[in-house]
Amino acid sequence: MTGEALAILGLALCAGLCGAGSAIGLYFTGSAASGVLAEDPKKFSKVLILVVLPATQGIYGFVFGILGLSAVTGGALTDIQFAQIFGAAMPLAITGLISGIAQGRTAVGGIYAVAKNEGLSGKLILFPAMVETYAILGLVVSILLLP
């Protein structure tokens, strides 16, 4: 395997795992919201933000993939630098996958709470947003590790 192929593999894993984490998280939140909305469709605006929160990890993976690909194609890199790009992709790949799933599960609790008391919806964003912090940290570390 060439160094360039290794770098592209790392970027593909990062984008794919972040996307998978988001998709799984969105599956959890979408399913929960569907149940709540079947009982009371007026709560749509109250649960919408909680439903879409896990989508951000997929966006982070996509953005990092573009940044990493521009590094791969931007100039003459050594095999060590290509390996560095692979390594740089791993913090976001791991945190994006895990935090997307965890954020979805956390947001589900908030969606169920809105079903019982819709006045809580603004306050309940805080809990899944705390999980988001680790996806953001993974993104920052990955960007800092790019050669």
**What tens digit of pLDDT does each residue of 108-130 get?**
999 999 989 877 777 889 999 99
The CB-side HSE value for 123 (13 A sphere, CA atoms) comes to: 6
CA-CA distances (angstroms) from residue 137 to 58, 85, 87, 99? 14, 17, 15, 11
**What confidence score (pLDDT) does residue 112 get?**
94
Low-confidence residues in the chain, pLDDT < 70: none
Look at residue 120 in the predicted model and tell me its pLDDT.
Answer: 77
Whole-number pLDDT of residue 126: 92
The structure tokens 């791969």 sit at 72
State residue 119's pLDDT score.
78
The closest alpha carbon to 24, from 110, 134, 92, 102, belongs to 102
Whole-angstrom distance, CA of residue 35 vs CA of residue 112: 9
C-beta separation of 69 from 11 below 8 A:
yes
**What structural domains and CATH numbers belong to the chain?**
3-145 (1.20.120.610)
